């Protein structure tokens, strides 16, 4: 099922990208977008464990509290040990990436160690290891890569409309450009939402079993949500927001309806209703 889900995601996002390229540059633009999609699919598969970590200037650690917690969780649950990275950010957050459990990365910000107890940190990293075990990480990385590319093409459409909208040629279609500028980023966001919201609930449930305490993860989520409200993460790439355990972007009210993450209150309620035998 995971292989089918990944293939369906690649196909859907490739079609979005080709449509966006066609709106900007006609047949030539569509061909260029198709070639770009092929490169991105390959890149997401083989290098997803490096792309996002480098984006946030992560450094690998092989000792310390974070490494020790991940090691204990893997030993306790019989999981393959991922590479562990620290991100130089004070906003408390964490994510996992990679193409499969054998080539996985788990990462956390420096700020997370300042506000969580060891049990709470174990709950957070158990959640990330659940994403690895449930094979969500490749899907999330592909969605991040394509969402970034689609957003870039939307910006390109703006410039094409400004500087090329007056041209009288068969590839120039101002209405298509305007539609692409509006609809393509929304479509990419909806794909991210559909992927992330359902998978977060499952990762919470699996993570609670890995760490043995749903209450530790619930308490950690409360602290992470409050911490990110006080000090949002700096220089967040919106295309990667769905990969983090809590939404690193500012936004409330109506914007919460379009969040890539499910409501925090519901996540905590489900965890506190769990019993782990």
Six token digits for residue 162: 């400004």
Does the annotation list 242 as a binding residue? no
Q: Is 265 a catalytic residue?
A: no
Q: How far is CA 176 from CA 52, 70, 165, 249, in A?
A: 32, 49, 11, 30
Does the annotation list 127 as a binding residue? yes
Q: How far is CA 267 from CA 97, 206, 226, in A?
A: 21, 13, 15
Does the annotation list 120 as a binding residue? no
Angle at alpha carbon of residue 89, lines to 241 and 135, rounded to 5°: 40
Six token digits for residue 176: 């298509």
Give the dihedral of Cα atoms 170, 172, 174, 176; nearest 10 deg.
Answer: 70
Six token digits for residue 205: 């449930």
State the Cα–Cα distance between residues 9 and 116, nearest whole angstrom.
35
Q: Name the catalytic one among 72, 120, 128, 170.
A: 128
Q: Which of 140, 129, 147 is nearest to 238 (CA)?
A: 147
User: What is the greatest pairwise CA distance in the chain?
Assistant: 70
Please state whether beta strands 94-98 and 59-61 pair in parallel, antiparallel, or not at all (unpaired): unpaired
State the Cα–Cα distance between residues 16 and 126, nearest whole angstrom.
34
Among all residues, which ones are annotated catalytic? 128
Residues making up the binding site for Zn(2+): 127, 131, 200
Residues making up the binding site: 127, 131, 200
């Amino acid at each position: 099922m995971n292989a089918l889900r990944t293939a369906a995601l690649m196909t859907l996002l490739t079609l979005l990208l080709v449509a966006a390229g066609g709106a900007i540059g006609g047949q030539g633009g569509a061909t260029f977008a198709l070639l770009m999609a092929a490169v991105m699919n390959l890149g997401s598969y083989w290098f997803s464990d490096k792309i996002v970590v480098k984006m946030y200037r992560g450094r690998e650690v092989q000792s310390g509290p974070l490494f020790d917690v991940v090691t204990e969780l893997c030993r306790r649950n019989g999981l393959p040990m991922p590479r562990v990275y620290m991100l130089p950010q004070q906003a408390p957050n964490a994510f996992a990436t990679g193409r499969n459990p054998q080539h996985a990365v788990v990462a956390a910000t420096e700020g997370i160690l300042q506000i969580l107890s060891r049990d709470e940190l174990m709950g957070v990293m158990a959640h990330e290891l659940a994403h690895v075990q449930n094979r969500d990480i490749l899907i999330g990385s592909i969605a991040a890569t394509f969402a970034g590319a689609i957003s870039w093409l939307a910006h390109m459409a703006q410039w094409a409309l400004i500087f090329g909208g007056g041209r009288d040629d068969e590839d120039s279609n101002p209405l298509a450009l305007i539609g692409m500028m509006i609809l393509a980023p929304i479509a990419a966001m909806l794909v991210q939402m559909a992927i992330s919201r359902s998978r977060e609930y499952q990762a919470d449930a699996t993570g609670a079993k890995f760490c043995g305490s749903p209450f530790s993860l619930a308490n950690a989520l409360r602290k992470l949500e409050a911490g990110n409200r006080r000090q949002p993460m700096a220089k967040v790439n919106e295309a990667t927001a769905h990969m983090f355990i809590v939404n690193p972007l500012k936004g409330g009210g109506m914007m919460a309806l379009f969040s890539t993450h499910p409501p925090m209150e519901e996540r905590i309620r489900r965890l506190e209703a769990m019993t782990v035998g």
